[in-house]
C-alpha cells in the first residue's frame, strides 16, 4: 500500500510532498490522517506492479537560453518563428 501525493504543491509541515510508502505514512501521522488532509490518496496497488518505461524522446532542437538572447520574450518569439519557418 502507498499514499499517492495529489497535493499540487500544497504540503503539511514536516511531511514530504511526494508519494509515501506505508512505513513513511505511519512515521508522519498515519495513513488516515494523511488521507484526510486531501493531499494524499490511498493506493492499494500490488507492490509487484511495475511502472511502464516511457519511450525515450530524441530532442531535435535544444536552445541554450542563457547564451543565446538571454531568454528575453522578444528573442524567444523570434527563435520560435525561425524554428517554425525552418520546419515547413
What pLDDT is attached to residue 78?
73
Residue ranges per structural domain of the chain = 2-43, 60-88
Work out the average pLDDT over 20-29: 93
Largest CA distance in the chain: 56
pTM recorded for the entire structure: 0.51
Work out the average pLDDT over 18-41: 93
Given a cut of 90, whether residue 17 has pLDDT beyond it is yes
Q: How is residue 68 annotated by DSSP?
A: S
Residue pLDDT, tens place only, 35-62: 999 999 998 876 555 555 556 555 555 5
Q: Which range is least confidently modeled, 18-27, 33-42, 58-67, 70-79?
A: 58-67
Amino acid at each position: 500500500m502507498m499514499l499517492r501525493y495529489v497535493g499540487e504543491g500544497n504540503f503539511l509541515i514536516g511531511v514530504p510532498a511526494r508519494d509515501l510508502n506505508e512505513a513513511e505514512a505511519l512515521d508522519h501521522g498515519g495513513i488516515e490522517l494523511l488521507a484526510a488532509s486531501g493531499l494524499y490518496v490511498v493506493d492499494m496497488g500490488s507492490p509487484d506492479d511495475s511502472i511502464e518505461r516511457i519511450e525515450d524522446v530524441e530532442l531535435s532542437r535544444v536552445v541554450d537560453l542563457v547564451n543565446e538572447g538571454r531568454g528575453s520574450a522578444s528573442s524567444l518569439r523570434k527563435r520560435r518563428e525561425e524554428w517554425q519557418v525552418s520546419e515547413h
